[in-house]
Amino acid sequence: MTIRFALAKGRVAKKAIALLIELGYVFDDYSEKSRKLIFQDTTGAIAFFLVKSPDVATYVEKGAADIGIVGKDVLLEHPAKVYEMLNLNIGKCRMCVAGYPDRPLPYGKKLVVGTKYPVIAKNFFQTKKQLVDIIKLNGSVELAPIIGLSDCIVDIVESGSTLKENGLAVLEEICQISSRLIVNQVSLKTKRTSIDPIIKAFETQLTTDV
Ligand code: PRP
């Protein structure tokens, strides 16, 4: 029975595919440059496909994929009914509030926040009892405070270079983020014998990496 594996296009997919190859799966027609979206291993055990990161959780929740690898940021922003089985410790970054280092945020009045993560931002400022006006953006979020669209941003910080190159800095850390292995709730029961070895293999990989 082929296990369908959903991966988010981009940096983490490359690492996840490398991990699958290290685990012994052979994907004859896979190359980083390929525009194909689905790749089957030579034994027919696994087929992985590449989708936009928020869609990984959707594919797995609906059972169109049995397994997925997705950032914790996606799971926090779009809670899905899936089993979160493993913290893979790849795709590590931080969810942060960022802005101008020398310009204190006008706490007390309504803060304008630009973000790709409106749910995470809303929840964070709610716990601080801070009123916010959240502006949902789809990318280049660092531009918002520079142009004067927002007082600050809530975004992922990995190396920190995007903030630095735009004269911004981390003001507060919200949480640590890393990639998680998620599994469809029904698949875990009905395909357990095929899924377990894959999860075990990822687990072993993690232990040997430490
Ligand atoms: C992400 C994130 C930051 C940047 C952080 O953007 O939204 O802008 O990466 O990485 P860094 O700390 O290593 O600089 P992404 O590359 O996904 O592009 P986007 O602006 O199109 O969302």
Is the Cβ–Cβ distance between 78 and 96 less than 8 Å? no
Q: Which atom of ligand 1 is nearest to the CA of 140?
A: 20
Q: For the chain, which domains are there? A: 3-91+178-209 (3.40.190.10), 93-176 (3.40.190.10)
- What's the gap in Å between 3 CA and the centre of ligand 1? 31
Residue 4 reports pLDDT greater than 90: yes
**How large a percentage of the chain has pLDDT more than 90?**
73
Average pLDDT along the chain:
93
Quickly list H helices, 99-177. Answer: 118-127, 143-147, 161-165
Whether 210 has a pLDDT exceeding 50, the answer reads: no
Q: What does the pLDDT read at residue 209?
A: 54
How far is ligand 1, taken at its centre, from the CA of residue 54, in Å? 15
Q: What backbone torsions phi and psi does residue 179 show, to the nearest 5 degrees?
A: -80, 145
Ligand 1 centroid distance, CA of 161 (Å): 9
For ligand 1, what atom is nearest to the CA of residue 159? 13
11-31 pLDDT tens trace? 778 878 988 898 889 999 888
136-65-184 Cα angle (round to 5): 90
- Using a 6 Å cutoff on CB, does residue 143 contact ligand 1? no
For residue range 136-171, list pLDDT tens digits in order: 999 999 999 999 999 999 999 999 999 999 999 999
Q: Which of 94, 116, 158, 170 to mutate to test the pocket of ligand 1 (most atoms within 8 A of CB)?
A: 158
Per-residue pLDDT, averaged over 190-205, amounts to: 88
pLDDT of residue 207: 63
